[in-house]
Amino acid sequence: MDRIKEKMNQLRLEAEESAGKVEELQTKVKTLEQENLQKEQEVVSLTHKNSVLESEVEKFETQVKELKATATEGQQHGTQNETLTRRLQLLEEEAEEADRTLREANEKLRQTDVKAGHFERKVQALEQERDQWESKYEEMSKKYATVQKELEDFQNEINTI
């Protein structure tokens, strides 16, 4: 009789632990899904920034080409040529800066993609673990019900004696 009570208590504790573990894993899954959503939003933001920077680079490259053409045509005008050369140099520096910023944005985008993939795999693993715990919980619930039924049958037998 005491063994049955001990076994019932043990099964009850295991069921409670399993339920707690399931809740903990569900919380982890929600957290990871939120992180994944943030990373996806960051990817969208970086993609937009990337396209804006690419258009700026194209604009600067066009301006550089135009200024180079103007500088070539205006070689006879020394002062004007020097001014245009300085302006060209500034635009080239801006274009290099924009290009560097673009490369950095692309690198961040790549890193974010890698992280997003990692978090997706992590979410899948946690969901799988959660499913295993839920399965174990259901199994323990069935065992508990069986033991409970056996106990009731045993008590009925004792009462009839």
Position 149 confidence tier, pLDDT thresholds 50, 70, 90: very high
pTM of the full predicted structure?
Answer: 0.37
Q: What is the pLDDT of residue 161?
A: 73
Position 81 confidence tier, pLDDT thresholds 50, 70, 90: low
At 22-33, the pLDDT tens digits run 999 999 999 999
| DSSP assignments along the chain, one per residue | -HHHHHHHHHHHHHHHHHHHHHHHHHHHHHHHHHHHHHHHHHHHHHHHHHHHHHHHHHHHHHHHHHHHHHHHHTTT-HHHHHHHHHHHHHHHHHHHHHHHHHHHHHHHHHHHHHHHHHHHHHHHHHHHHHHHHHHHHHHHHHHHHHHHHHHHHHHHHHHH-
* Whether residue 75 has pLDDT greater than 60: no
* Whether residue 80 has pLDDT greater than 70: no
* Whether residue 100 has pLDDT greater than 70: yes
Q: What is the pLDDT of residue 92?
A: 93
What does the pLDDT average to over 108-122?
91
* Whether residue 99 has pLDDT greater than 70: yes
What does the pLDDT average to over 42-57?
91
Task: Return mean pLDDT, the chain.
Answer: 88
Q: What is the pLDDT of residue 7?
A: 85
* Whether residue 39 has pLDDT greater than 60: yes
How large a percentage of the chain has pLDDT more than 70?
95
